[in-house]
C-alpha cells in the first residue's frame, strides 16, 4: 500500500459540520466576504503548496539534519496556514451560500490530517516531531556488531527465507527502530488532539472520520458492513494458510490458538502473504506466470517498467506523462544516501509536475506497484483544472483504488498484449492465480481496517499510552488472526514499524481501495463488454472503459463521492460483492480443503 503525497498532507471532504461551542454569526461577513476568502485561500495554497511539496521532496530524497529541519519548518508553516484558514472558514457557517462555496469551505475546515494547535510554540513542536518521526523511519536500520540492515534487506529475509530463526531475527530486528518513536508519537497525539478540538472535533480520529460525505457517526458502521461481506472469504483463506504453514514449520512454532505468527507470512507486517504462495498453493493449480522471470528475460529495467505502465493508461485514451515526469522522478535507490524508499506519487505544483519516488526492483510486485502509483499521477493530472480545493480524489479511497483497478487488468491477456508471453494459459491455471491474488488482496483487507481502528482508539483515549502495544496486538489478533511471534511489552512500539504510523498517513483509504477496486473493475469490464470470469478481464486498450474511467478522474472532489460512484460503478453505494464475485472459484476450493479442519481463532 502506497503513500500519496498531497498538498496539505491529505485533503479530505467533510459532510457534516463539527459541533462548535460558539455559534457562528454573520454580523460582520457577507457572501462577498466568503468569496474573497475562498479566492485568497486558493491562491495561497497554489503558491505555498508547491514550495512545501518541493521541500518535502528534498527531505524524502536527501535525509540529512538540514533537510529534516527544512521539512519541519515547512510543515510548521503549512500547518499554521491550514489551522488559520480552518478557523477563519467557521465565520461563514451561518451564511446562505451556494453548494459549491459551502463545499469548498467545508474542505478547508476538514482538510487536515493533523491539526496543529493555534499556538506558535506548539505548532513548531508538532512540526518538528512529525518531521523527526518520518526521518527516523526512513533512516531505520537493524545493526549487530556493526553489520547493519535496512528495511529492504530485512524484508527480503522475511519474503525469501524458510528458516524460522532467520525470520524471527529479521522480524524483531526491524522493530528495534520504533521504540524511540513512542514518546514522540504520544506527544504528537496530544498536540494533534488539541488542534482538532480547537476546530470543533472531539479528537483527531473524529476529524478523519468526518471526511466522507456522510455523517461521521455512520462511517464506522459502513466499514463494518463492507468487512462483513469479505470476512467469510478471509476466514477460509486464513484457515488454509495456517494449516499449510503448520505443516511446514511445525505445531510448536504455530501454537494451538488458531492464529498465525506474524513472521511466517512472507511480509514484514503480515499484510501481504504472496511470498508463501509456494507453501499454500493448490497442488493441482499448475504453474502460474512468473512475471519476475519474464521481466528479466525481456531486459526490463526500472524505466522500461514505468514506460510499460504508462502505456496501459495511454491505451485507454489518456495523454502520455509529461517529459518532466521522466526527468524528475526517482526510479532507483541511490547508492550514496538514505532516501524514503516507500513508493509514492507526487503532485508538486498541482498542475502537471507529477512524479513518482520508488526504489524499483525488477520484479512482479514492483511492476504492479508502478501501475498503482501512475494511477495516482494520471488522476492528479485529470483534475488539474478544478479549484485547488477539488484537486484530490472523490474520497481518499478513490485515489488508492484507481491504480489498483488498473493493476487488476494485469492478466494473462495483458501480458500477451505487451509481449511478455506468447500464449494465454488454460483456465486450469486460474486457481493458482486466484490464490496468489487472494494472498495479496484478501489477506490485506483486515489489516487495512485495523490500522486506523488502532489510531482512532489512541486519539480518543480508548487505548491509553500505557497500552499502545497491547492495543495494537489485540486488534491484530481480532481482525487478522495474526499474533506476535515473541513476547511483546510496552517497551516496544510495534505500530511505529509500519510507515503510515510515524508518517501520519490515514490508512482507511487502503481498506476502501481494496473494496472499490473490485467494484470499479467489474463495472469497467461491463463497459468493455467483456464476457467471462471477472478475474480474466483486462480493460487494456479499450476505449469505452477508458472513457468511463477518465470521466470519473476528471471530477476530482468537485462532487460528493456518491456522484463519482454513480459515474464509474452505476451505484451510489460501495459494495464488496464484486470481491466475492472475483474470488468465487477460490472460495469453493478453500471450503473444500477446510472440511474437517479446526478453523477460527
Q: pLDDT digits over 353-371, tens only?
A: 999 999 999 998 899 999 9
pLDDT reading at 17 higher than 70: no
Question: Which triple of cell numbers denotes residue 537?
Answer: 478481464
Q: What average pLDDT does this structure show over 189-198?
A: 93
Residues 260-294 have pLDDT tens digits of 999 999 999 999 999 999 999 998 776 778 899 99
Q: What is the pLDDT of residue 112?
A: 78
| Torsion angle in degrees (nearest 10) through CA of 468, 474, 478, 480 | 70
* Residue 315 sits in the same domain as residue 181: no
* Residue 158 sits in the same domain as residue 30: yes
* Residue 188 sits in the same domain as residue 307: no
Q: What is the pLDDT of residue 553?
A: 96
* Residue 13 sits in the same domain as residue 124: yes
pLDDT reading at 471 higher than 60: yes
Q: Is 342 noted as a catalytic residue in this protein?
A: yes
Confidence class of residue 425 from pLDDT cuts 50, 70 and 90? confident
Distance of CA 106 to CAs 165, 196, 219, Å?
52, 15, 17
Would you say how long the chain is, in residues?
Answer: 601
pLDDT reading at 6 higher than 50: no
Q: What average pLDDT does this structure show over 524-537?
A: 94
- Evaluate whether residue 144 is within a structural domain: yes
Residues 590 and 267: their CA atoms lie apart, in Å, by 22
* Residue 317 sits in the same domain as residue 196: no
Residues 369-381 have pLDDT tens digits of 999 999 999 999 9
Q: 344 forms bridges with which residues in the sheet?
A: 3, 357
Q: In percent, how much of the chain has pLDDT > 90?
A: 77
pLDDT reading at 19 higher than 50: no
Q: What average pLDDT does this structure show over 521-532?
A: 95
Q: What is the pLDDT of residue 483?
A: 98
Q: What is the pLDDT of residue 211?
A: 83
Count of Cβ atoms closer than 10 Å to residue 335 Cβ:
5
Distance of CA 326 to CAs 60, 300, 303, 356, 375, Å?
18, 16, 9, 9, 16
Q: What is the pLDDT of residue 27?
A: 59
Q: Is 423 noted as a catalytic residue in this protein?
A: no
Q: What is the pLDDT of residue 79?
A: 78
Catalytic member of 500, 514, 521, 535: 500
* Residue 416 sits in the same domain as residue 324: yes
Q: Is 474 noted as a catalytic residue in this protein?
A: no
pLDDT reading at 343 higher than 50: yes
* Residue 198 sits in the same domain as residue 297: no
pLDDT reading at 153 higher than 50: yes
Q: Are 258 and 598 in contact (CB under 8 A)?
A: yes
* Residue 387 sits in the same domain as residue 519: yes
pLDDT reading at 3 higher than 90: no
3-state helix, strand, coil in the chain (%, to 5): 60, 5, 35
- Evaluate whether residue 499 is within a structural domain: no
pLDDT reading at 588 higher than 80: yes
DSSP state of 532: S
- Evaluate whether residue 109 is within a structural domain: yes
- Evaluate whether residue 515 is within a structural domain: yes
Confidence class of residue 339 from pLDDT cuts 50, 70 and 90? confident
Catalytic member of 373, 440, 523, 558: 373
Residues 389-416 have pLDDT tens digits of 999 999 989 998 998 999 999 999 999 9
Q: Which residues contact 262 (CB under 8 A, 6 or more apart)?
A: 171, 269, 270, 476, 482, 483, 484, 485
Residues 24 and 15: their CA atoms lie apart, in Å, by 18
- Evaluate whether residue 460 is within a structural domain: no
* Residue 19 sits in the same domain as residue 119: yes
Q: What is the pLDDT of residue 15?
A: 28
Catalytic member of 159, 343, 345, 497: 343
Final residue before a domain boundary, out of 219, 234, 257:
219
- Evaluate whether residue 404 is within a structural domain: yes
* Residue 191 sits in the same domain as residue 299: no
Residues 578 and 568: their CA atoms lie apart, in Å, by 14
Domain hosting 406: range is 291-427+508-574
Residues 521 and 515: their CA atoms lie apart, in Å, by 10
Catalytic member of 372, 399, 514, 521: 372
Rounded (5°) CA angle 536-307-564: 60
Residues 260 and 441: their CA atoms lie apart, in Å, by 18
Average pLDDT in the chain? 91
Q: In percent, how much of the chain has pLDDT > 70?
A: 95
Q: What average pLDDT does this structure show over 479-507?
A: 96
- Evaluate whether residue 466 is within a structural domain: no
Catalytic member of 3, 240, 263, 342: 342
Catalytic member of 400, 440, 523, 558: 400
What domain count does the chain have?
2
Q: Is 514 noted as a catalytic residue in this protein?
A: no
Selected residue with higher pLDDT from 236 and 83: 236
Nearest to 575 by CA among 562, 590, 589, 586: 562
Q: What is the pLDDT of residue 116?
A: 85
Q: Is 510 noted as a catalytic residue in this protein?
A: yes
pLDDT reading at 37 higher than 80: yes
Confidence class of residue 45 from pLDDT cuts 50, 70 and 90? very high
Residues 403 and 378: their CA atoms lie apart, in Å, by 9
pLDDT reading at 221 higher than 70: yes
- Evaluate whether residue 239 is within a structural domain: no
Catalytic member of 510, 557, 569, 576: 510
Catalytic member of 3, 240, 263, 376: 376
Residues 405 and 379: their CA atoms lie apart, in Å, by 13
- What is the pTM for the complete model shown? 0.86
| Torsion angle in degrees (nearest 10) through CA of 41, 380, 509, 562 | 80
* Residue 178 sits in the same domain as residue 296: no
Q: What average pLDDT does this structure show over 526-551?
A: 95
Runs of H (alpha helix) within 120-257 = 120-138, 151-160, 164-174, 181-198, 204-209, 219-249, 251-254
Q: What is the pLDDT of residue 25?
A: 47
Q: Is 343 noted as a catalytic residue in this protein?
A: yes
Residues 138 and 132: their CA atoms lie apart, in Å, by 10
Q: Is 298 noted as a catalytic residue in this protein?
A: no
Q: What is the pLDDT of residue 136?
A: 93
Residue found by looking up cell 501512475 in the block: 374
Q: What is the pLDDT of residue 149?
A: 95
* Residue 379 sits in the same domain as residue 518: yes
Final residue before a domain boundary, out of 200, 219, 238:
219
Q: What is the pLDDT of residue 24?
A: 45
Amino acid at each position: 500500500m502506497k503513500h500519496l503525497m498531497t498538498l496539505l498532507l491529505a485533503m479530505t471532504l467533510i459532510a457534516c459540520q463539527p459541533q462548535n461551542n460558539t455559534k457562528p454569526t454573520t454580523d460582520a461577513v457577507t457572501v462577498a466576504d466568503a468569496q474573497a476568502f475562498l479566492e485568497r485561500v486558493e491562491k495561497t495554497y497554489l503558491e505555498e503548496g508547491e514550495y512545501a511539496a518541493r521541500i518535502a521532496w528534498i527531505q524524502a530524497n536527501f535525509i540529512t539534519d538540514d533537510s529534516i529541519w527544512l521539512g519541519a519548518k515547512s510543515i510548521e508553516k503549512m500547518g499554521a496556514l491550514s489551522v488559520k484558514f480552518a478557523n477563519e472558514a467557521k465565520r461563514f457557517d451561518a451564511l446562505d451560500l451556494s453548494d459549491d462555496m459551502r463545499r469548498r469551505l467545508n474542505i478547508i475546515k476538514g482538510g487536515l490530517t493533523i491539526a496543529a494547535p493555534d499556538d506558535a510554540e506548539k505548532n513548531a513542536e508538532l512540526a518538528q516531531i512529525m518531521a523527526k518521526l518520518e526521518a527516523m523511519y526512513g533512516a531505520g536500520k537493524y545493526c549487530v556488531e556493526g553489520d547493519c540492515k535496512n528495511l529492504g534487506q530485512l524484508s527480503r529475509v522475511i519474503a525469501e527465507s524458510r528458516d524460522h530463526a532467520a525470520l524471527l531475527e529479521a522480524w524483531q530486528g526491524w522493530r528495534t527502530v520504533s521504540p524511540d518513536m513512542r514518546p514522540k508519537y504520544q506527544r504528537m497525539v496530544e498536540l494533534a488532539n488539541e488542534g482538532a478540538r480547537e476546530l470543533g472535533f472531539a479528537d483527531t480520529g473524529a476529524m478523519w472520520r468526518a471526511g466522507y460525505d456522510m455523517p461521521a457517526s455512520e462511517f464506522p458502521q459502513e466499514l463494518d458492513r463492507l468487512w462483513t461481506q469479505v470476512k467469510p472469504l478471509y476466514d477460509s483463506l486464513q484457515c488454509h494458510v495456517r494449516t499449510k504453514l503448520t505443516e511446514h514449520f511445525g505445531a510448536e512454532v504455530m501454537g494451538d490458538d488458531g492464529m498465525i505468527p506474524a513472521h511466517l507470512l512472507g511480509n514484514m507486517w503480515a499484510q501481504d502473504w504472496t511470498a508463501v504462495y509456494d507453501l499454500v498453493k493448490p497442488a493441482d493449480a499448475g504453474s502460474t506466470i512468473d512475471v519476475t522471470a519474464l521481466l528479466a528475460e525481456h531486459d526490463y529495467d526500472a524505466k522500461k517498467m514505468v514506460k510499460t505502465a504508462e502505456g496501459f493508461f495511454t491505451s485507454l485514451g489518456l495523454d502520455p506523462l509529461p517529459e518532466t515526469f521522466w526527468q524528475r522522478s526517482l526510479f532507483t535507490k541511490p547508492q550514496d544516501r538514505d532516501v524514503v524508499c516507500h513508493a509514492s506519487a507526487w503532485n508538486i505544483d498541482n498542475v502537471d509536475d507529477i512524479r513518482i519516488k520508488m526504489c524499483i526492483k525488477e520484479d512482479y510486485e514492483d511492476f504492479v506497484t508502478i501501475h498503482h502509483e501512475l494511477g495516482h499521477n494520471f488522476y492528479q493530472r485529470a483534475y488539474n483544472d478544478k479549484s485547488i480545493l477539488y484537486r484530490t480524489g472523490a474520497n481518499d479511497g478513490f485515489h488508492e483504488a484507481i491504480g489498483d483497478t488498473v493493476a487488476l487488468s494485469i492478466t494473462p491477456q495483458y501480458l500477451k498484449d505487451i509481449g511478455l508471453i506468447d500464449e494465454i494459459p488454460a483456465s486450469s491455471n486460474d486457481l493458482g492465480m486466484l490464490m496468489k491474488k487472494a494472498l495479496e488482496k484478501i489477506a490485506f483487507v483486515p489489516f487495512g481496517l485495523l490500522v486506523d481502528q488502532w489510531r482512532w482508539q489512541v486519539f480518543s483515549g480508548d487505548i491509553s499510552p500505557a497500552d499502545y502495544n497491547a492495543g495494537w496486538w489485540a486488534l491484530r489478533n481480532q481482525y487478522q488472526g495474526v499474533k506476535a511471534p515473541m513476547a511483546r511489552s510496552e517497551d516496544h512500539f510495534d505500530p511505529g514499524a509500519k510507515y503510515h504510523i510515524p508518517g501520519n498517513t490515514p490508512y482507511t483509504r487502503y481498506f476502501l481501495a481494496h473494496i472499490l477496486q473490485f467494484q470499479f473493475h467489474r463495472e469497467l469490464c461491463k463497459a468493455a463488454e467483456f464476457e467471462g470470469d471477472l478475474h480474466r478481464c483486462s480493460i487494456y486498450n479499450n476505449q469505452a472503459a477508458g472513457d468511463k474511467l477518465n470521466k470519473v478522474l476528471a471530477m476530482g472532489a468537485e462532487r460528493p463521492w456518491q456522484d463519482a460512484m454513480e459515474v464509474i460503478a452505476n451505484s451510489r453505494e460501495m459494495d464488496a460483492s464484486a470481491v466475492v464475485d472475483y474470488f468465487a472459484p477460490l472460495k469453493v476450493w478453500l471450503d473444500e480443503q477446510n472440511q474437517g479442519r479446526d478453523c477460527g481463532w
